[in-house]
Structure 1
Amino acid sequence: MTVADSSALPPASTQTVTRLADYRPPLYRLPSVSLTFWLDRQKTTVEARIRLERDEAVYRPGESLLLHGGKLALESLTLEGEPLMEGRDYRLVPDGLELLNPPVAGELVSRVSIDPSANLELEGLYASGDMLCTQCEAEGFRKITYWLDRPDLLSVYTVKLIASAADYPVLLANGNCIEHGTMPGGQHFAVWHDPFPKPAYLFAVVAGQLVKTADRFTTRSGRTVDLEIWTRAADAAKTGHAMMSLKHSMAWDEQVFGLEYDLDIYMIVAVGDFNMGAMENKGLNVFNTKYVLADPQTATDLDYQGIEAVIAHEYFHNWTGNRVTCRDWFQLSLKEGLTVFRDQQFSADMNSAAVQRIGNVRGLRAVQFPEDAGPTAHPVRPDSYVEINNFYTATVYNKGAEVVRMYHTLLGADGFRRGMDLYFQRHDGQAVTCDDFRAAMADANGVDLSQFGRWYSQAGTPVVRVTDQYDTETKTYTLTMTQSCPPTPGQPVKEPFLIPIAMGLLSADGQTLPTQLTGEATAQAGTRVLRLSDVRQSFTFVNVAEAPIPSLLRGFSAPVKLERAWTDAELATLAAHDSDAFARWEAGQTVLTRVLLADADPASIGPARTDLPETVANLVAATLAPFTGETVGAGADPAFAALCLALPGEAYLAELVPVVYPDRLHAARNALRTAIGRRYADDLLKIIARFTDTGPFQPTAEAAGRRALRNTALDLLVAGGNSAAIALAADQAKAAGNMTDRLAALTALVDTDHPERSAILEAFQADFAEDALVLDKWFTVQALSRRADTLAQVTALLGHPAYDAKNPNKVRALVGSFTTGNRAQFHALDGSGYGFLADQVIATDGFNGKLAARLVAPLAPWKKMDPARQGLMRAELDRIRKTPGLSKDVTEIVEKALAA
């Protein structure tokens, strides 16, 4: 799917904690189930015929059997054809239905009814417009029928769907359709069978008035697979990019990992109301419309890239998640971290590998690093949880992907492939653990990876500090590295990690120097990987002709914070000459970060900067130079240049200071943007002229790169107050031929007091009044405005006719964008932003606790803020905690934050 340690809970908490240490296999196997749905918006009836088989190796005499269930109305229950009596044979309990005298084996038949229209949690079976659909990960299937709802219980499903042919002409479920037909009274039916045993979280049903975009894919073994993307009729024309992305994903997985699709049909359904990004249900993926629909007038380059990545992610889950699944939810990163790594590798091959990698790292630092440093920090494989949905986090997904990437770095591409092959050979059709994956990697390559297991069990971001010394007499160069990891909730002391440090050496004039460690017979050219495994470790290189400049953590080879006292001259050399694109970008970001942190230092007194330090001026000049001459410099990459011109984000900067003053960080960053825009106005205007598209929109990496650099230049010019650029932004926001350029101009313009600002915003809204996804962009642009009146505007937009507080996309677009992306306004010193968020969390929790739990996160790191803001944030957390009937989703997050 695309999206805590109990020791951090206050002692008085009465929440039920699930612990990894308490894992026990299921008492019963449920090898097969036949489900019949009589689908209706207000009352859907579900009959489940379940084959029960007791596992005598697990069962203890006298034990009852709990079948999970929630919000179900039980209509009948029989065992082997005999009705069961409540109180004697079973009892209904808060978590489900308990069989008091379960048989050794037998067929249990239950009939329940549910109300999809009242299901505002969007988990289980629910209504989205005139469609019915399901979301079962992590524990939604128990809201459909009584079941052992756990990922290590794999069953073969046969599903019969019965519904009004007029209301629900399309009936979809997992697997292959084996029968369909008409019935009396305007009803019709479809029977679907999935031959692959799966856990309940991969179950899916969709019914509605949908149309399909169809295509085919021929596998490497010659099988033909039908591909279908189902949408509402009005959206069908926007599925072309999604279909192309799916076919590219299928071909890539065959080529890179030898993995072929296994069913006769692969279906995607676009749904407007969805808590997550997408879901990998076997053969029937349910997607948020955001990650399916695109055309040049309504989708940006980032949307196109996001669709490509998420389509790939869910397809790749067919093997890493479906064919081999998780034993328990503590192993969530087994499927999600691995599959994120796979979709990142795919995107790197489809686009610019350097730009893709930098984007991955920027996201990790902006979201996961703060998570690792905050009160909800948890390992990639948690030890316990109260609500599993709270662990669909950047740590499990993005840090989990970095852990998988480290296997790839340590073992090499061929070694990683050997490990993957052995993993599937051993575990196809099984529910397994992160340790099983690590064992496959180790055994396939004949290496000991036991220490590497600490990446799964220890929370926090390791810090690697580097010192170095060059001996002119012996021509040796020694790097000394120390590693540490700060305490996190429940883990005050950490053991050393195995950390791969990809590195190289450069001369003073930027030439690559060979690397030869003591004891090696020959030198290595280019990048090599050092293995840091001790708290303190030294690496000595011999035959080094001159004092080198170390290039460290190339490609961001480990999710760590690396500290070394590079000089300005060294950083300039790395930024200009390093053979590794990430290292070049990182050197430039280090220059910018130093200036920003110095300017934002509370100890410094003085007006905001109006000039540019020479280190920054030289960096910007070097970045712009290839694009401002008569021709573009050979090998120059506009997308990479755009990233180099983007200043470090405020969330990342906040992680680098002991106490956060959000207004000072914001002011320092704005002042530097303004200074760059003013000093390099002529060059930036040349770039705009050079990269103005005149032909039809192309969603290629090359074209997207040109647009990215052009719009970055426009943003800097507007920030610098350039009147010509502001007028250009206004014209572009009104008349651009594609959404990328139109939205970029609107984003720049919305920060200004341009006289047409309001009219342009109104025109944008009018042009796309019927397009929900574009209106989400409209809400977001306004929520991110740097103007002082933004909160008032956001509050007013809550009442806009197009805003729906029960639709997760709308809530994320407006409320989520303001509270996570507009740090200066959210952290206003009067506490108004905190009060606004608390109000939204409380209101949302009344019907969707999972969405509310994601909203509350910006209040959690209250202890790191300056003293004035600490009390304000804590007070709002306390107000949320005291709300009657608060969901366990929100309660877990809030209590951990308050206990920090």
Structure 2
Amino acid sequence: MDIASRPAEPVENTQIADAAPPPQAPPVIHREDYLPPAWLIPQVLLDFRLGVDATHVVSTLSVTRNPEGNGTSTLRLNGDQIAPLAVRVDGREVNDWRLDGPDLLVELTGEAHSVEVETAVNPAANSQLMGLYASNGMLCTQCEAEGFRRITFFPDRPDVLSTYSVKMRGDKAQFPVLLANGNCTATGEGEDGTHWAEWHDPWPKPSYLFALVAGDLVANHDTFTTMGGRKVDLNIWVRPGDEDRTQHAMDSLINSMKWDEEAFGREYDLDLFNIVAVSDFNMGAMENKGLNVFNTRYVLADPETATDADYDAVEGVIGHEYFHNWSGNRVTCRDWFQLSLKEGFTVLRDQMFSADMGSAAVKRIEDVRVLRIAQFPEDSGPLAHPIRPDSYQEISNFYTATVYNKGAEVIRMMRTMAGPERFRAGTDLYFARHDGEAATCEDFVKAIEDGAGLDLTQFRLWYSQAGTPQLTVELDHDGARTTLTLTQAVPATPGQPEKQPVPIPLRIALYDRDTGAHSGEQLVVLDKDTGSFTFDGFAKPPVLSINRGFSAPVAIDFARANEDLVFLAAHDDDPFARYEAMQGLVVQYLVAGVSGRLDDAARTEGRAAIGAAFAAVIDDPELDDLMRGELMILPAETYLAEQLLVADPGAIHAEREALKAWLGSECGEGLKALHDRAAAVPYGRDAAARGARKIKTQALTLIAAGDPAEGARRALAQYRAADTMTDRQGALMVLASLDAPERAEALADFHQRYTGNALVIDKWFSLQGSAFHPEVLEHIKALAGHGDFTMTNPNRVRALYMAAASNPVAFHDEGGEGYRMIGELIRKLDPVNPQTAARFVPVLGRWRRIEPVRAALMRAELERIAAVPTLSRDVREQVTKSLG
């Protein structure tokens, strides 16, 4: 999420030698087989009679033959676990329809018809949370990617754009609020305590953007006036009692609307914008046109229940879904292979927005950390795929860090090469050309190419090639001339054994060792296997600052002396490069230690350099605390594993923990003083107060590593004195990993204090699942049987088990208990919620990059999963690729 360029040799499995072969995999869908739809649906009328246990749906489609289609007389309407109650064509019931698997086929003659289909669904029984489902008595929908076909029969593909009119009827006491896309055009009272509402969305949209919500909700209401003078009513709908925790979300929405006008010239286009918070949700949020449905964790926030990171997440996700109104809704995807068209671009937009709202330097570091932890391992594993995939079996499996985060980095590179103004010209051209269309990634690249005046012919390889480019760097000095030589290699990935060189834009600076300054940043672009760049005017070998701002998503192999990294950590004026120098010091030391390359002298020298750099960070009066906190975070164990061809998770964890303990002891007095200083800063949402809370937890983490008793004492004191969730959670995180009596007291108090608050109880589960406590596996097993745990709520499942899967102590237990635990979870969860179950497969799929003993255990668990005959498509595809 670098140096590793090929997988380890496959490990022979001896534990499941006679397991039955898995059932045949579902068919593979290929991008090259795309054909335009045979029939178009310009208008859709939907009539719902709502009920939690039974909802009746009448869908009336205006159907016209597509002149670009194949001319077939067969109208194919996709379905999934539904059956037609009646089918009418032009007002007359027909009986010659047929089912082809789950799809409804109707034969039509002529050029245009009205097709009406009746269906019935049971929202309460929909544990997959796709289509129309019930959440604590409320009805809501999730239709991306293929959920609409679970409500009614429809050509459920993103290139069929329709205007939707919706009528909903239901019990007024049970469903007092009735919401759908667009604007509300009429409401009324029915008989027997019912009421109804009609909604119309004038903007053509694909079925995946359809939304409906009905339930007992209250709204935080505000307004926004667009740059064109349109007054927009804004509502954030939540359950009664939660409305006091929605103001940050509302502020974030208003800031998003204003920012998108200023940064991209995009104005909102309806009279109403609704957000609904739902507690049962597979995703973080969904950008349905005018009616965004959100996971509650990305809406509800106050200082008592939400950390500073939670506040940032709410702001970022609110922005992301709002920005989709243009980059996803007004211009949507032609097919699901183009998913990064909307997601990669919108991730970049939300990253830019969050950077402008807070600390741009810290935001960039956070974004790169996510990329390295989540996407780099994806790029080097069995599930590697380009940001525009060539094939899939289950589209839900391509909602990945590659499509989202690497997709954003690829577009960011275009912006780096073009510059902000020319890039804006390119995006303006893109929106102007394709407004109201279902477009492709090629359409986007072409618009940037034309609008910004770039030649992106070779750059398109970033869209079609998987894998993280590996960049080797050499710096030679001769006389007054310095030569920078760059060599790239894109490693082989499944289905792509050979790669072509890609353009890599690198922001660099050369520092004079004596003055500590550079003469200006430069942009160099490597567009071939090897390239050299010369620089004059250096009497001594300069210090190279490379990939400043992380201008390209590449892994860099550059042998640098500790003194150069210490120099950059002290002098680099690019915040990311300064952070990278600190990380480089630690990564070089830990990788050498894990690889057995540290003798006593090298260990002493390495620790001394790291200790000096950390001491400087702790004491530097010029650093703001938000940045200081970032510089104090050690590289993640997942990222460290990526530096090795074959990783030993136990050795990595032990080496990293030993360094933490040494730093906590070596810098102990400075850390205690830092913790004391930060503890004295009063609460605020300003950068200074947020920074103080950040370094408080980072200092406490290192103090506890060096002196567990002192760490436990300070952590319990911080917990008891906390007036924010940031401080309370930070203290509890430290205590959860300690074998100390203070641990039990704080955990019991936290649960009692927040009983009934689902989002905070999620934290309670997650903190224990991610703890480095020696008995963490037993704790996780006990928590799985806790009265507050449920397999039907994705947030709760992720809170406990995704924390466990990301915890090297629990997951990589050398006896394989962690692997068996996740394998059992996948088998149990798959029949309930296959989409959530599939998210747990990739951690087991990393077996080729793990030392042989653990690798055999991981592979064996994958084979146990593969042997289940009733696996969903979601899980089957992930497991098959992970074993292949």
Q: Given the two structures, how large is their TM-score scaled by the length of structure 1?
A: 0.94
Among residues 667, 671, 688, which one is paired with 1:702 in the alignment? 688
What is the distance in 2 between the residues matched to 1:694 and 1:415? 43
In the other structure, the counterpart of 1:643 is 630
What is the distance in 2 between the residues matched to 1:605 and 1:801? 51
In the other structure, the counterpart of 1:504 is 509
**Equivalent position amino acid for 2:523 in 1:** V
In the other structure, the counterpart of 1:675 is 662
- The range that moved more, 566-575 or 806-815, is 566-575
Kindly indicate whether residue 74 of structure 2 is the aligned counterpart of residue 64 of structure 1.
Answer: yes
**Contact 2:475-2:485 within 8 A present in 1 as well:** yes
Give the direction of change, closer, same or farther, for the CA distance of 1:693–1:277 in structure 2 (3 Å limit). farther
**Contact 1:73-1:114 within 8 A present in 2 as well:** no
**Contact 1:333-1:380 within 8 A present in 2 as well:** yes
- The range that moved more, 562-571 or 864-873, is 562-571
Kindly indicate whether residue 744 of structure 2 is the aligned counterpart of residue 758 of structure 1.
Answer: yes
In the other structure, the counterpart of 1:132 is 139
**Contact 1:610-1:675 within 8 A present in 2 as well:** no
- The range that moved more, 155-164 or 570-579, is 570-579
Kindly indicate whether residue 71 of structure 2 is the aligned counterpart of residue 84 of structure 1.
Answer: no
Among residues 419, 423, 439, which one is paired with 1:416 in the alignment? 423
In the other structure, the counterpart of 2:489 is 484
Instruction: Within 5 Å, give how 1:122-161 maps onto structure 2.
Output: 122-161=129-168
Deviation at 1:604, TM superposition (A): 6.6
In the other structure, the counterpart of 1:850 is 835
Kindly indicate whether residue 572 of structure 2 is the aligned counterpart of residue 578 of structure 1.
Answer: yes
Instruction: Within 5 Å, give how 1:331-480 maps onto structure 2.
Output: 331-472=338-479, 475-480=480-485
**Equivalent position amino acid for 2:497 in 1:** P
What is the distance in 1 between the residues matched to 2:130 and 2:22? 31
Kindly indicate whether residue 491 of structure 2 is the aligned counterpart of residue 529 of structure 1.
Answer: no
Deviation at 1:218, TM superposition (A): 1.1
Deviation at 1:688, TM superposition (A): 1.3
What is the distance in 1 between the residues matched to 2:40 and 2:694? 54
What is the distance in 1 between the residues matched to 2:564 and 2:744? 47
Deviation at 1:486, TM superposition (A): 0.7
In the other structure, the counterpart of 2:236 is 229
**Equivalent position amino acid for 1:463 in 2:** Q
- The range that moved more, 783-792 or 131-140, is 783-792
Deviation at 1:297, TM superposition (A): 0.6
Deviation at 1:103, TM superposition (A): 4.4
**Equivalent position amino acid for 1:105 in 2:** A
Q: Give the match's secondary structure for 1:49.
A: strand
What is the distance in 2 between the residues matched to 1:33 and 1:101? 18
Deviation at 1:104, TM superposition (A): 2.3
What is the distance in 2 between the residues matched to 1:693 and 1:329? 52
**Contact 1:608-1:667 within 8 A present in 2 as well:** no
**Equivalent position amino acid for 2:577 in 1:** A
Give the direction of change, closer, same or farther, for the CA distance of 1:19–1:694 in structure 2 (3 Å limit). same
What is the distance in 1 between the residues matched to 2:487 and 2:319? 38
Q: Give the match's secondary structure for 1:307.
A: helix
What is the distance in 2 between the residues matched to 1:805 and 1:365? 30
Among residues 287, 299, 323, which one is paired with 1:280 in the alignment? 287
Kindly indicate whether residue 254 of structure 2 is the aligned counterpart of residue 260 of structure 1.
Answer: no
**Contact 2:708-2:738 within 8 A present in 1 as well:** no
Kindly indicate whether residue 621 of structure 2 is the aligned counterpart of residue 614 of structure 1.
Answer: no
**Equivalent position amino acid for 1:590 in 2:** G
Q: Deviations over 1:432-482 (max 9, x none)?
A: 01111100111112221011100000000001111122221xx22211111
What is the distance in 2 between the residues matched to 1:608 and 1:503? 29
In the other structure, the counterpart of 1:841 is 826
Among residues 682, 685, 694, which one is paired with 2:672 in the alignment? 685
In the other structure, the counterpart of 2:498 is 493
Q: Give the match's secondary structure for 2:282.
A: coil
**Contact 2:548-2:577 within 8 A present in 1 as well:** yes
**Contact 2:611-2:667 within 8 A present in 1 as well:** no
Q: Deviations over 1:634-659 (max 9, x none)?
A: x3211111111111110000000111
- The range that moved more, 562-571 or 224-233, is 562-571
In the other structure, the counterpart of 2:13 is none
In the other structure, the counterpart of 2:16 is none
Deviation at 1:123, TM superposition (A): 0.2
What is the distance in 2 between the residues matched to 1:170 and 1:716? 50
What is the distance in 2 between the residues matched to 1:14 and 1:598? 42
**Equivalent position amino acid for 2:376 in 1:** F
Deviation at 1:234, TM superposition (A): 1.4
Among residues 777, 780, 798, which one is paired with 2:784 in the alignment? 798
Deviation at 1:846, TM superposition (A): 1.1
Kindly indicate whether residue 124 of structure 2 is the aligned counterpart of residue 117 of structure 1.
Answer: yes
Give the direction of change, closer, same or farther, for the CA distance of 1:804–1:14 in structure 2 (3 Å limit). closer
Q: Give the match's secondary structure for 2:84.
A: strand
How large is the Cα RMSD of the aligned pairs? 1.7
Q: Given the two structures, how large is their TM-score scaled by the length of structure 2?
A: 0.96
**Contact 2:826-2:840 within 8 A present in 1 as well:** yes
In the other structure, the counterpart of 2:5 is none
Unaligned 5+ segments in structure 1 are: 1-7, 515-525, 627-632
Among residues 544, 548, 558, which one is paired with 1:550 in the alignment? 544
Unaligned 5+ segments in structure 2 are: 1-9, 11-20
**Equivalent position amino acid for 2:88 in 1:** T
Q: Deviations over 1:551-608 (max 9, x none)?
A: 1100000000112121111111111111111111101110011111122225779999
What is the distance in 1 between the residues matched to 2:367 and 2:66? 44
Among residues 162, 165, 168, which one is paired with 2:169 in the alignment? 162
Among residues 11, 20, 36, which one is paired with 2:47 in the alignment? 36
**Contact 2:562-2:606 within 8 A present in 1 as well:** no
Among residues 27, 50, 53, which one is paired with 2:64 in the alignment? 53
Deviation at 1:872, TM superposition (A): 0.7
- The range that moved more, 97-106 or 270-279, is 97-106
In the other structure, the counterpart of 2:856 is 871
Q: Give the match's secondary structure for 2:444.
A: helix
**Contact 1:508-1:548 within 8 A present in 2 as well:** yes
Give the direction of change, closer, same or farther, for the CA distance of 1:603–1:448 in structure 2 (3 Å limit). closer
Deviation at 1:510, TM superposition (A): 5.1
**Contact 2:506-2:552 within 8 A present in 1 as well:** yes
Deviation at 1:127, TM superposition (A): 0.4
- The range that moved more, 279-288 or 462-471, is 462-471
Q: Give the match's secondary structure for 2:741.
A: coil
What is the distance in 2 between the residues matched to 1:577 and 1:14? 55
In the other structure, the counterpart of 1:559 is 553
**Contact 1:504-1:512 within 8 A present in 2 as well:** no
What is the distance in 1 between the residues matched to 2:74 and 2:478? 73
What is the distance in 2 between the residues matched to 1:659 and 1:14? 30
In the other structure, the counterpart of 2:869 is 884
**Equivalent position amino acid for 1:674 in 2:** A
Among residues 771, 778, 786, which one is paired with 1:785 in the alignment? 771
Give the direction of change, closer, same or farther, for the CA distance of 1:342–1:693 in structure 2 (3 Å limit). farther
Q: Give the match's secondary structure for 1:757.
A: helix
In the other structure, the counterpart of 1:600 is 594
Deviation at 1:11, TM superposition (A): 12
**Contact 2:260-2:266 within 8 A present in 1 as well:** yes
**Equivalent position amino acid for 1:596 in 2:** L
**More contact order relative to length (CA 8 Å, sep ≥ 6):** 2
What is the distance in 2 between the residues matched to 1:125 and 1:855? 25
Aligned length: 865
What is the distance in 2 between the residues matched to 1:745 and 1:564? 38
**Contact 1:461-1:485 within 8 A present in 2 as well:** yes
Q: Give the match's secondary structure for 1:251.
A: helix
Q: Give the match's secondary structure for 2:763.
A: helix
- The range that moved more, 598-607 or 428-437, is 598-607
**Contact 1:510-1:577 within 8 A present in 2 as well:** no
What is the distance in 2 between the residues matched to 1:707 and 1:37? 49
In the other structure, the counterpart of 2:641 is 654
Among residues 24, 27, 42, which one is paired with 1:16 in the alignment? 27
